[in-house]
Amino acid sequence: MQHLFILISDCFLTDSLLLIYLDIRRRAYIDKSAFVCAHQSTLLFQHYIYSILLPLNCLASMQMGEEAHFYGNAEVYWRDVPPTVDGMLGGYGSISNIDLNGSKAFLKKLIGEGEGKTGTMCALDCGAGIGRITKRLLLPLFQTVDLVDVTQEFLDQARTYLGEESKRVGHYFCTGLQDFVPEPGRYDVIWIQWVIGHLTDEHLVKFLERCQGALRPGGIVVIKDNVAYEGVVPDDVDSSVCRDLQIVRSLVAKAGLRIVHQEQQMDFPKEIYQVHTLALR
C-alpha cells in the first residue's frame, strides 16, 4: 500500500515535495510511536500531502483483502513488541504516570454515587496490552476488571504484571476488538485507549455500538487516543491510523453515542500527537 501511495503521489507532487514526503515516511520508520513533525513547515507539508492521500486511504471503503492485511500486519507488529510499559507506549514509558494521573482525574469526575454518576462494579480495558491501565487506573477504582487484547503474550504477562490484584480480574479475552462482543449490560466503564487507530471506521462504529449495549445503567465508554492535526494519518509501521478529532466525533455520533465530557491530556511531550479523552454514553 505504501508503494501505491508513493507512485500516485508522484503524479501530484513536485520532486521536492516528493522528497519531503519520502523523508517523512523514513522518519516514521525511525520513530514508529510518534509520527509527528518536528517543525511547522514539515507539518504544513504533511497536511498537504495527507489531504491528497486521504481519499486513497479511505478506511471506510477498504476491500476485504486490504482489511485482512490491515489487521494481520498490526498483529505481526505487536507480536514483536516487548511486553513492558515502554513497549505499550512505543518507547514513551516515561509518560505513563502523567497519562494515568490525567485519566484518574478525568474518571473521578464521572464515577461515584448519585444521579447521573457511573457505578464502580465492573470495567473493561480494551486493547489492554499488559494491563498498564488496569493496574493503576481501573483495579483501584472498580471491583472487577476484564481485559481484551489481540496479543496473547501481553495478556499472559498481565497476570504477572498485575500481581496480587489480578485475582479481581474477571476475564482475559484474547481477540481483536473488531470481533469482540462484550457481554450486554455488564460494564460501568469501558476504557478504550490507544487502540481505535487499529480499527477501520466501520468496525469502530460497530464496536462502539456493541459497547453501548454492554453498559450498565449510567455506564460510560471512554476513548483516550491520539488525534491528528487534520484528516487521517496512516502509520504503516504498526498498521494503524490516526484520525482528527472531528472524524472521531463523527464516528462516535454514527454509533449513536453522545459525548458527555471531553478533555485534552496536558503535559505530554511537545513532539507527540495531542491526546484527547472522550466520555460517551
Ligand X SMILES: C[S@@+](CC[C@H](N)C(=O)[O-])C[C@H]1O[C@@H](n2cnc3c(N)ncnc32)[C@H](O)[C@@H]1O
| Interface residues toward ligand X, by CB under 6 A | 71, 74, 78, 88, 127-129, 132-133, 149-151, 154, 176-178, 193-195, 198
With beta carbons less than 8 A apart as the criterion, state whether 76 and 153 touch. Answer: no
**DSSP code for 35:** -
The least distance separating ligand X from the CB of residue 81, rounded to whole angstroms, comes to: 7
**How far apart are CB 199 and ligand X at their closest, in Å?**
6
Residue 15, H or E segment: helix 15-30
Specify burial of residue 256 (Cβ count, 10 A radius: 0-12, 13-18, 19+): exposed
State the minimum distance, in angstroms, from the CB of residue 133 to ligand X: 5
Query: Least distance from C-beta 127 to ligand X, angstroms?
Result: 3
Distance of closest approach, residue 23 Cβ to ligand X, in angstroms: 25
Contact, 127 vs 100, CB < 8 A?
A: no
Nearer to ligand X, 37 or 174 (CB): 174
Cell of 13: 507532487
Please, which residue, 20 or 222, has the CB nearer to ligand X? Answer: 222
The residue to which cell 500481581 is assigned: 163
**CA–CA separation, 96 and 111 (whole Å):** 22
CB 276 within 8 A of CB 245: yes
SS3 190: strand
Of 9 and 178, which has the nearer Cβ to ligand X?
178
Angle at alpha carbon of residue 230, lines to 258 and 249, rounded to 5°: 5
**Which is closer to ligand X, CB of 20 or CB of 277?**
277
Q: Which is nearer to ligand X, 54 or 95 (CB)?
A: 95
CB of residue 138 vs ligand X: minimum separation in angstroms? 11
